[in-house]
């Protein structure tokens, strides 16, 4: 890569991973998004498209890898990799010491789990049978004739049978536990001491590496947290479900963030100037140039008005979102993001919650933005839109980018088998 293309890169990820618990959703995404690119992200449901987008602006904290935005490293961590390595060594030691992964122990464990399920079921059945037996006993004692002594005896017999089943299952489980324990003891005795010593050395090294990575991770996160707000401002995000505040008017929705951030900035600048004045500097000229609160508010309102005009919704400035159609709400949500003057817009299926007749108006707004040169990443199921507007399409499958090509190429001559299958289903 030469320096020019490097310079144009706005967002860059390397080895980006994300896990939820033990589920690995992103498995190592390397991706560069350059200024002015319109990147469509397609792929099957659950493949990780939304997670990828959310990791780009750190709405979701990645588990590992690197996210660089505009040259600034927002996230960097290989802690998870080190943790995996450590866990792998631990597992090896455990296996060696306890025979945990021998087929026999695994089979016993599976049987034990099955027993547990059967036991729970039998206990439920016993409860029902006992209630029934009690009811029968009462009915029989009233000698209304609807329940006979035989019925009572049969119900009681059913209870006894179930109780016996439960006892047998318990005994089996207990025997299985003893067997597992015995196997573990045997494994421990026969564990090769040389191999064990080797693994222990490995363990110590893995532990040290993990501890170091953890330290670095903590340091990196402090940097990330310090710069995250600043960077999020540069990344507008539009979701499937608009996420407008229903208790605020359209204008209030749009101006909320710019005003609060504007005031926050103003406060910070004033504090900075005050410090300098206390140090004896002459700051009068700079202080005079600071906007006042009212100006910030008025500017935000003016911007909102202009943006509303641009998307044909000037007449909705003072209404509440509840009175708007889905398409209108989504156009407002886009305006709300634009009001922050972002450098890149991230869209997550902006039209999939809309009635079909409203899709067009929203896509039109996005298309106009694209034509004006806005950098954008858009997760979409609208393949025609992707073909028409995107400069590049990413096919995400199973947490990885499986294909990355201009739309003509990706749709016209797909290479990856999963992509071919995906396209055959939707086109
Ligand atoms: N907060 C979370 N906690 C646990 N699992 C999650 C979370 N968010 C997403 N997942 C899981 O991660 C996987 C990927 O989800 P993601 O929303 O990124 O998929 P997607 O490609 O956007 O799918 P769709 O096309 O349906 O929107 C799914 O299996 C999902 O269940
Ligand atoms: Mg999604």
* pLDDT at residue 423 greater than cutoff 90: yes
Q: Which of 204-218, 272-286, 324-338 is predicted least confidently?
A: 204-218
Least confident piece of the model among 77-91, 278-292, 309-323: 77-91
Q: What is the pLDDT at residue 6?
A: 56
Phi, psi for residue 320 in degrees, rounded to 5? -95, 150
The arithmetic mean of pLDDT across residues 375-403, rounded, is: 95
Q: Is 46 in the pocket of ligand 1 (CB under 6 A)?
A: yes
Residue 2 has pLDDT above 60, yes or no: no
The percentage of residues in the chain with a pLDDT greater than 70, rounded to a whole number, is: 97
- Give pLDDT, residue 227: 75
With left for phi above 0 and alpha for psi between -120 and 50, is residue 348 left, alpha or beta? beta
20 lines ligand 1 (CB under 6 A): yes
Q: Whose CA is nearest to atom 6 of ligand 1?
A: 20
Alpha-carbon span 299 to 297, nearest angstrom? 5
Least confident of 103-112, 337-346, 415-424: 103-112
Q: What is the structure's pLDDT at 316?
A: 95
Q: pLDDT band at 351, cuts 50/70/90?
A: very high
Query: Which of 25, 43, 45 maximizes ligand 1 atoms within 8 Å of its Cβ, making it the mutation to test the pocket?
Result: 25
175-225 per-position pLDDT tens digit:
999 998 988 888 878 878 888 888 899 888 888 888 888 888 888 778 777
Give 51 Cα–ligand 1 centroid separation in angstroms.
6
Question: What is the pLDDT averaged over residues 126-130?
Answer: 95
pLDDT at 1: 41
Residue 98 CB–ligand 1 contact under 6 Å: no
Mean pLDDT score, 269-297: 92
Instruction: Please say if the pLDDT value at position 102 is more than 80.
Output: no
Q: For position 421, what pLDDT does the model report?
A: 95
Ligand closest to Cα of 396 equals 1
Instruction: Please state the rounded mean pLDDT for residues 231-248.
Output: 90
Cα separation values, 320 from 73, 77, 254, 323, 388, Å:
39, 43, 12, 6, 34
Please give the mean pLDDT across all residues of the chain: 90
376: CA distance to ligand 1 center in Å?
21
Distance 25 CA to ligand 1 centre (A): 7
Output 149 or 34, whichever has higher pLDDT: 34
In angstroms, the CA 404 to CA 39 distance is 10
CA distances to 39, 89, 224, 230, 272 from 74, in Å: 21, 31, 5, 11, 25
Residue 121 has a pLDDT of 96
How many Å lie between the centroid of ligand 1 and the Cα of residue 340?
27
What is the structure's pLDDT at 101?
A: 67
Q: Does the Cβ of 22 fall within 6 Å of ligand 1?
A: no
Residue 3 pLDDT more than 50? Answer: no
Is the pLDDT at 169 greater than 90? The verdict is yes
Count the Cβ atoms, other than its own, within 10 Å of residue 303: 18
Q: Does residue 355 surpass a pLDDT of 50? A: yes
Q: Three-state SS string across 233-292, please?
A: HCEEEECCCCCCCCCCCHHHHHHHHHHHHHHHHHHHHHHHHHHHHHCCCCCHHHHHHCCC
Residue nearest to atom 4 of ligand 1 (CA): 20
Most confident of 5-14, 355-364, 392-401: 392-401
| 130-144 residue pLDDT tens | 999 999 998 888 876
pLDDT reported for residue 184: 83
């Amino acid at each position: 890569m030469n320096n020019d293309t490097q310079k144009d890169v706005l967002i860059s990820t390397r080895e980006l991973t994300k896990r939820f618990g033990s589920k690995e959703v992103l498995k190592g995404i390397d991706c560069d998004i350059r200024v002015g690119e319109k990147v469509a992200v397609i792929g099957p449901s659950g493949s990780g498209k939304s997670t990828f987008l959310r990791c780009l602006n750190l709405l979701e904290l990645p588990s590992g890898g690197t996210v660089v935005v505009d040259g600034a490293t927002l996230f960097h961590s290989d802690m998870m990799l080190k943790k995996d390595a450590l866990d792998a060594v631990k597992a090896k030691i455990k296996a060696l010491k306890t025979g945990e992964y021998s087929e026999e122990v695994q089979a016993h464990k599976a049987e034990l789990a099955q027993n547990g399920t059967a036991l729970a079921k039998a206990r439920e059945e016993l409860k029902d049978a006992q209630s029934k037996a009690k009811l029968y006993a009462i009915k029989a004692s009233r000698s209304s004739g609807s329940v006979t002594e035989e019925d009572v005896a049969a119900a009681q017999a059913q209870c006894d049978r179930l109780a016996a089943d439960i006892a047998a299952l318990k005994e089996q489980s207990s025997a299985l536990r003893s067997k597992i324990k015995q196997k573990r003891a045997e494994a421990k005795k026969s564990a090769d001491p040389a191999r064990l010593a080797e693994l222990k050395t490995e363990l110590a090294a893995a532990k040290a590496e993990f501890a170091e990575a953890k330290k670095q991770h903590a340091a990196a996160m402090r940097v990330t947290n310090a710069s995250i707000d600043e960077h999020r401002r540069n990344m507008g995000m539009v979701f499937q479900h608009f996420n407008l505040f229903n208790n605020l008017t359209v204008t209030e929705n749009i101006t909320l963030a710019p005003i609060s951030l504007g005031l926050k900035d103003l406060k910070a600048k004033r504090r900075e100037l005050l410090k300098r004045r206390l140090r004896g500097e002459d700051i009068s000229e700079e202080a005079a140039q600071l906007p006042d609160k009212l100006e910030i508010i008025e500017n935000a309102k003016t911007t909102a008005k202009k943006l509303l005009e641009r998307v044909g919704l000037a007449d909705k400035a003072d209404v509440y979102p509840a009175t708007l159609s889905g398409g209108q709400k989504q156009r407002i949500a886009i305006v709300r993001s634009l009001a922050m003057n972002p450098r890149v817009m991230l869209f997550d299926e902006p039209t999939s919650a809309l009635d079909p007749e409203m899709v067009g108006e929203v896509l039109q707004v996005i298309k106009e933005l694209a034509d004006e040169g806005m950098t954008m990443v858009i997760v979409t199921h609208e393949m025609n839109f992707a073909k028409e507007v995107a400069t590049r399409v990413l096919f995400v499958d199973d947490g990885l980018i499986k294909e990355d090509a201009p739309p003509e190429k990706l749709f016209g001559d797909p290479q990856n088998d999963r992509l071919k299958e995906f396209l055959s289903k939707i086109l």
